Amino acid sequence: MSLLVFIEETNTGAPAQVGLEILTKVRDRGDVHVAYAGTGGDEVWATLGAFGASEVHHIPIAEDVLGTAAAAKAVADLAAQLSPDLILAGATYDGRDVAGRLSAITGRSVLANATDLSFDGGVTVTNEVFGGTKMVRSTFTGDAGIVLVRPKAFAAEAGEASTPTVSTLEVPEVGHAGSASITGRHVEAAEGPKLEEAAIVVAGGRGLGDAEKFELVERLASQLGGATGATRAIVDAGWVPYAKQVGQTGKTVKPDIYIALGISGAMQHLVGMKDAGTIIAINKDEEAPIFSVADLGIVGDVHQVVPKLIEALESR
């Protein structure tokens, strides 16, 4: 089987993490070609090789160019040449943009938001619909298509070190579609581990009462060396920035421990955290849906329970 994986470079000059997750999943399935958009370099090629790329086709998009239109055209040209059985990309902003354009250029269908892939007698793609309440398994009819894989669907694990063959492609001319440029980048200042990567996440919801009480979430997370997360309710209320939102329209997290403080457990929130190793919930309503996914639950007032928890941790 021949597979073509589109991976974009992040602001830090590394391959997007979801790209490495996809490579880990598919590397034993045949020839794995990577179309890599970004500056690249020896360190990047070594990383892609260790995660399973046999050939890397480098699309040298300049840093100050919004390059998804050109990247999509380059991947389409590559697909015409390689005729891969499947094209994959991460469900990131760039991955989605490229997949949509690629579908329009090549006529291949897109299956979006994949949470699993199986390769028994063809490719079967699993995705979640209706806020994660239903799982749908789909296969392509006709020409194999494009799959957009959700971040954290698979673990990223490097295999043996190996050096892929690297070739550099011309960045295609795409007219006005390629004329948008990046005029500035803003990196949000953050302390502690990143939400998507943290082993422990402490998240807060509307049950905290007001914006100032998010401090309880921050203090508990700091004691545990974890990251802080939030529900959409408190993001929409302006208590915390969108970057902290966990759920269907926020981030998907898979920490070892997820602690939910004053969170009801709406399906749109659960879909972003239900695969955490151990879920601990504190909510004053014993009927709150969060308890249906919790491994440990405390029915109680966050303003009474959490300060005691912090006190106990601080005195250790």
Minimum distance from residue 271 beta carbon to ligand FAD (Å): 8
Q: Which residue, 163 or 268, is less far from ligand FAD as judged by CB? A: 268
Report the interface residues with ligand FAD, using CB under 6 A: 205-207, 231-234, 245-250, 262-264, 266, 268-269, 272, 282-285, 288, 301-303
Minimum distance from residue 52 beta carbon to ligand FAD (Å): 31
Q: Which residue, 11 or 249, is less far from ligand FAD as judged by CB? A: 249
Minimum distance from residue 149 beta carbon to ligand FAD (Å): 19
Radius of gyration of the chain (CA): 21
Minimum distance from residue 306 beta carbon to ligand FAD (Å): 9
Distance between CA atoms of residues 17 and 11, nearest Å = 12
Distance between CA atoms of residues 226 and 309, nearest Å = 15
Residue pair 132/271 in contact (Cβ under 8 Å)? The answer is yes
Minimum distance from residue 103 beta carbon to ligand FAD (Å): 24
Residue pair 5/26 in contact (Cβ under 8 Å)? The answer is yes
Q: Which residue, 106 or 283, is less far from ligand FAD as judged by CB? A: 283
Q: Which residue, 105 or 267, is less far from ligand FAD as judged by CB? A: 267
Q: Which residue, 57 or 232, is less far from ligand FAD as judged by CB? A: 232
Q: Which residue, 68 or 231, is less far from ligand FAD as judged by CB? A: 231
The type of residue at 193 is P
Minimum distance from residue 274 beta carbon to ligand FAD (Å): 12
Burial of 72 (0-12, 13-18, 19+ CB in 10 A): buried
Q: Which residue, 159 or 307, is less far from ligand FAD as judged by CB? A: 307
Minimum distance from residue 221 beta carbon to ligand FAD (Å): 17
Distance between CA atoms of residues 245 and 232, nearest Å = 6
